[in-house]
Each structure stands twice: as C-alpha cells, then as structure tokens.
Amino acid sequence: MRDVSHAVVPLITVGIIGTIVTAILGFFWAPAVDSNSWNAPEAYRIIYWHVPFAWVSFLAFAILFLGSIFWYAKRSDFGWVMVTIGSEMGLLFGLGVVISGPIWGAAEWGVPWDWGDVRLNTYALLTAVALFLVMSMRSQPDGEETRDTLAAIGLFGFILVPITAMATTIWRNRHPGVIIIETEETGMDSEIRLVLFLGAISLMVLFAGLVSLNYELHSLRKQISDKESKIDEESMQ
C-alpha cells in the first residue's frame, strides 16, 4: 500500500480552514436573497455547506462503486479498502445533507420532508445504503462472502446517484433545481457563486484528507496484524 501519511494532516487542516471561512463568508459577506420570493430568506445560507456536502458525498459513492468493481475484478485488498472508505465517507457526508435539508425545509416549506419528492427520497435511500454497509462491515465477520455481498450492494446502490442527480431536472417537485448552470430561472449572484465554489473546493480538500486518513488507518491495521502474526509464528518455533 502507498504511504499517504504525509498528506493527511495538511489536507485536513486546509480543508477545515476553508470550510470555516466558507461558513463565515456565507453568513456575513454573501448577499441576502429576495425576501419576497422565499418564505425564510436567511435559511438559504445553508447552501454553502449543504450543496458541497452533497457533491462530496457523490464522490464518496463513486469511490464505493469503483472499489466494488475492483473487488469483483481483482479480489484485491485495495478494492475492498475503497469500498469501506467510500461507504464511510458516503455516510458521513450523506448524513450532513440529510440533516441540513430538512432543517431548511421546515423553515422554507413549513414541513421538513416531502415523501413525494424523488430527490429527497432517493438521496435518503442512498445514505441508508451507506449506513447499512458501514453497520454490516462492523458487525459481520470479514471474509470473501461478506465482501461479495456488501460490494454487490455498493455496486447496485450507485444506480441511485445518477437518479438523484437528475431528479430535479426530470421530476422536479419541491427540491430546488440545478443552481449552477446559468439559465434565466437560476441566475445566481456572483458572490453567492464564489462562496459556494470555495465551500465545494474546501470540502473536497477535506474529503481528500479524510480518504487519506482512512487509507492510512487501514494500512496501519494491516501492518500491525502482519507483525502480530510474525511474532506468533516466531513464538511457536
């Protein structure tokens, strides 16, 4: 396994600083939205973390998907490590989205959840898949059968990613539509866009740091386990 230990702390530090700066700019620098068009105009400020959290969670699910393919194609430990990291990161950032969305919904719509909205429900299902995978990995004995079953769930669960991403375009219901592509309907203030992109870049850097951190944890566990086996073998001789 490659040594990524030197990248862990710098990436996490830069990511955290950028994420905090994003929140400060989002609150105190980004302009307010039209108070006549929104029921709770100040609540919109959650987007500076809510949207980047969602984008980063898609990266996590992509790692889970690629890891599942690697696991099936090569039966490599690297593939399985990608599955475990992808599902844990998917759960972490997915929870961030699933928690922040309903708080905004309660303020803006008057209800925290809409069971008829496709994006809300497919995204919740995606996070539930990540939760199921993380809990299964912690509760089931590690072996080929367990890995096969969980990698299959990761593989097919990824289908929910494009459905979730396109849901507001195809079946737009309550969830606001795509906000980055410039149209007459979604014209976005340049300051809002700037803070949103800073949030996205910062969370991606933090995500890279957390992936490296988890990768090193797996690497260290393997090294310790190998050394313990070696000590056991030597003591048996």
For the chain, where are the alpha helices, taking DSSP H only?
A: 5-28, 47-74, 77-108, 118-139, 144-157, 160-170, 190-236
* DSSP one-letter string for 55-110: HHHHHHHHHHHHHHHHHHHH--HHHHHHHHHHHHHHHHHHHHHHHHHHHHHHHHTS
Query: Does 27 sit near other proteins (CB under 8 A)?
Result: yes
Stretch binding other proteins (CB under 8 A), from 70-78, 103-111, 126-134, 173-181: 103-111
Q: Answer whether 63's CB lies under 8 Å from 82's CB.
A: yes
Residue keyed to tokens 């957390």: 210
Q: Write down the least CB distance from residue 76 to other proteins, Å.
A: 22
Query: Does 133 sit near other proteins (CB under 8 A)?
Result: no
- Compute CA distances 161 → 46, 80, 211, whole Å: 22, 20, 20
Query: Does 175 sit near other proteins (CB under 8 A)?
Result: no
Query: Does 137 sit near other proteins (CB under 8 A)?
Result: no
Size of the site for other proteins (CB under 8 A): 42
Query: Does 231 sit near other proteins (CB under 8 A)?
Result: yes
Q: Write down the least CB distance from residue 73 to other proteins, Å.
A: 29
Query: Does 191 sit near other proteins (CB under 8 A)?
Result: no
Query: Does 196 sit near other proteins (CB under 8 A)?
Result: no
Query: Does 189 sit near other proteins (CB under 8 A)?
Result: no
Query: Does 45 sit near other proteins (CB under 8 A)?
Result: yes
Residue keyed to tokens 């105190």: 28
**27 CB-near residues (< 8 Å, 6+ apart):** 45
Quick one: which of 150, 160, 210, 211 contacts other proteins (CB under 8 A)? Answer: 210
**Binding positions for other proteins, rule: CB under 8 A:** 8, 12, 16, 19, 23, 27, 35, 39-46, 49-50, 53, 92, 95-96, 99-100, 103-104, 106-108, 206, 210, 213-214, 216-217, 220-221, 223-224, 227-228, 230-231
